[in-house]
A = this chain, B = another copy of it.
């Protein structure tokens, strides 16, 4: 009989990220993850995750919820691109609260091309959800996709900078900087080497 294990999902994520960072993603088994999570079983693991890869992407549902909610609730006067920027800024707190784990997770992903591919798919899925939320605000089809996907690219660059300089940088500020620079850029402010 399955026992109810308090906080099992959270414990499994924490254990998996630790083990992947310590001994490598490929070398880690589901059994080891369950054991490290305070003596859980493989059966409990598979109640929460389809496979060990999915543990690394467990946070994306929460992230998507924050992004979509922020876009939906942005004031009507907010432009599409500003709604997307605001959504990523709102989500920054999720990363800041889990800073150590996020950085450890990124190290694991950086070492494994299959995981990098998965990460890009997840980001594309988040962009798709934001595009849908923008269309529901009345933004046109093309504009909604562009705002969501270029916004996701701007976020991704800020996130990479935050990961690269963990001690000194604030993710929310870096996201703001990415979007400001994007505006300057599209307005044509980067022209020639001597400009």
Contacts and interface: CB of A to CB of B under 8 A. Distances in A.
Interface of A: 76-82, 113-114, 116-118, 120-121, 124, 137-140, 142-143, 145-147, 149-150, 152-154, 156-157, 161, 177-178, 181-194
B186 A81 contact: yes
A137 to B, nearest CB: 6
A137 B183 CA distance: 20
Contacts of A116: 121
B157 A146 contact: yes
A188 B153 contact: no
B147 A157 contact: no
B121 A76 contact: no
Nearest to A120: B120
Contact of A186 (B138, B145, B153, B183): B183
A120 B123 CA distance: 10
A85 to B, nearest CB: 10
Contact of A80 (B124, B149, B185): B185
Nearest to A127: B153
Contacts of A120: 117, 120-121, 124
